[in-house]
Structure formats: C-alpha cells, structure tokens
Amino acid sequence: MRILPIALCALLASPALAEDQSSMRFEVRLLGLKAGMIEIAANVTESAYAARTKFRTAGLVGALKRVRADVEVQGRVAGDTLKPQTYSEAIDDGSRVTNVKVRFAPGKPRLISGDTGSSAPPADTSTLTNAIDPLTLLYVALRDQPRDEVCRFEADVFDGHRHAVISLKGRQPNGNTITCNGSYRRVAGYSDSEREKRNVSISVTYVDAGDVMRAERVAFDTKLGPAVMDRR
C-alpha cells in the first residue's frame, strides 16, 4: 500500500511560510509491533503551504526491514482547500531506491522525473486535475477539524504513477470521539497482484479537543497485515 503511509518527520524551516505551523506525531505499529514514528508537519499561510517529511523504520520491524522515505510538497491554498503544485519522494525499501518528482499544476498531474518502481502501465491523469499527493492527503485527513466537518473527506490521489481514491465518510460517533470509516480504492497504475485487493479499509478516530476534533488513531490494512498509527 504505497500511498499510505509515505511518512514523515522534519518541519520545513521557511520564514515565508511561518504563519501557521503545525505538526502531528504518530507511533506506527504493524502486527502489534512497533514499526516506526511518523511526524506530519506543515507550514500554511493564506496563499501557500509546504511540508517536508522523513520516515525510518524502528523496533523489531526496523531490524527485519529497513525503510527510509523523504517526502516533500509545496502548493497553494484556495479557501479551505490545499492544492499541491510540486511533490517529490525518495524511498529506499532495502531492495530498491526510487526518486520521484511530480508536478500537479497547471493542468493534469504528471511525472517529471524519476522511476516509480512499477512495471504496470501508469494511470491516465487526464481527469485528475483536482488530485492531491500522498503527503497532502495525510495532512488534510489528520489535521484538527471542526466537529461538523469530520467524515466528509474524499479525494483522488496520485503519486506519479498510481491513482487511488480515498474516502472517509462513514461517521460513527461515540461520546467524545468520532470514528470515520472509509476505504482506499486502487483505480489505475497497479500491478495484477496489487489489484487482487482493490479496496482497503481505513478508519480514523478523532477525539474532542475543545473547539476542534483531533485525530488520535488511524487503522488500515497492509499486505503484511493490520497496521495502526497512534498519536503521541
């Protein structure tokens, strides 16, 4: 499940984007074992946003499988919507290194350099002018939100090769928490083996944090088994 989670750590030190700085830290567990720590961070102004992230495996999972990921995105802000313009990722999964750069605007998103590591035909992006990248997806879905706005998320996601649709619309309130149930649906750019499980279940649980709801847990399936991200 390449698009989720491509992960994260260092906040951009950009004075021009210092108006609203936010960060979120999650511990990632796979099959109950600690897999690493994710810090999702972004700087947002009224007109632009930027984020840069890093991820390293840790614990027993890290001893068995070393994964390194460096990801960043820059884009513009239109009202309450974040629109990516340039996205890049460098991922080393121990057996293959990929360096990808994607341009999202103007027009349809397109791979401008790098090898995505997939032998499958790339997704047709002619209808994806409103698509977002994986990092923008994580930030938008997990940032603090007003109570009446959670569980209203759906987006086309493009990583330079693959097109997926993420939906979080199943609202399940329980006291001071709300769980949004949804799915990650593989649309195009995936191999035959990846398409064997086209839909992957995802849930995000938010807790009341005063004026906003705050994401505390993300649960999803991977090809290795169930994974969770717990806020720290």
Residue range 125-150, pLDDT digits in tens: 999 999 999 999 999 999 999 999 99
* Rounded-to-integer distance, Cα 128 and Cα 35, Å: 33
Domain assignment present for residue 2? The answer is no
Please state the φ and ψ torsions of residue 60, each to the nearest 5 degrees: -65, -40
Tell me the whole-structure pTM to 2 decimals.
0.86
* Rounded-to-integer distance, Cα 153 and Cα 165, Å: 11
Q: Which amino acid is at 72?
A: E
Q: What is the largest CA-CA distance in the chain?
A: 48
Residue reference for tokens 């830290």: 25
pLDDT band at 121 (very low <50, low <70, confident <90, very high): very high
pLDDT (tens digit per residue) in 155-201: 999 999 999 999 999 999 999 999 999 999 999 999 988 888 889 99
* Rounded-to-integer distance, Cα 92 and Cα 191, Å: 20
* Rounded-to-integer distance, Cα 153 and Cα 137, Å: 10
What six digits make up the tokens of 17?
């984007």
**Domain residue limits at 21:** 15-231
| DSSP reduced 3-state for 191 | coil
Bridge-based pairing of strands 153-158 and 213-222 is unpaired
What mean pLDDT, rounded, does the chain reach?
86
Domain assignment present for residue 4? The answer is no
4 pLDDT more than 90: no
Peptide bond into 106 cis (omega under 30): yes
Domain assignment present for residue 1? The answer is no
In 10 A of CB 110, how many CB atoms? 13
pLDDT (tens digit per residue) in 21-60: 688 889 999 888 888 888 888 899 999 999 988 787 876 6
Q: How many domains does the chain have?
A: 1
Are residues 45 and 89 in contact, defined by beta-carbon separation less than 8 angstroms? Answer: no
Are residues 133 and 104 in contact, defined by beta-carbon separation less than 8 angstroms? Answer: yes
Domain assignment present for residue 31? The answer is yes
Model pLDDT, residue 5: 40
What six digits make up the tokens of 152?
């209203």
Domain assignment present for residue 29? The answer is yes
Domain assignment present for residue 5? The answer is no
Element (H, E) at 63: helix 59-64
CA distances (Å), origin 91, targets 32, 40, 81, 114, 187: 24, 17, 27, 11, 22
What six digits make up the tokens of 196?
């064997």
